[in-house]
Amino acid sequence: MDVIENIKRQIADNPVILYMKGTPDFPQCGFSGRAVQILDKCGVEYAFVNVFEAPEVRENLKLVSHWPTFPQLFVRGELVGGSDIMMELYESGELQKLLAGATKAGERQD
């Protein structure tokens, strides 16, 4: 499968997916760590892709999302943004509304 097609499939198949540096248990940058903390506070299940373990995704995701940095959060197939945008949306209550119904609350999909 082509890398771009694989990324699009990941985004389509997962209601909430975080492309990040590291893993939720071991984030490898502060921004990815903050994104995980925000999602965990929201209590949602989410899939993740460690872009350090998938360099082809790291190089090609920006062609799909048109967003150059990581982390990148997608909800229901749409790019939400990085950790700064996630924090703004969380503080305003908009992220919780966006995530409502996207998944069952409670567990991550690791």
Please give the annotated binding residues, written as ranges: 21, 29, 58, 70, 83-84
Helical segments of the chain, H only: 3-13, 30-42, 55-65, 83-92, 94-99
Residue stretches of the annotated binding site for glutathione: 21, 58, 70, 83-84
Annotated binding site for [2Fe-2S] cluster: 29
The dihedral formed by the CA atoms of 46, 84, 11 and 76, expressed in degrees to the nearest 10:
80
- Residue bearing tokens 């069952």: 104
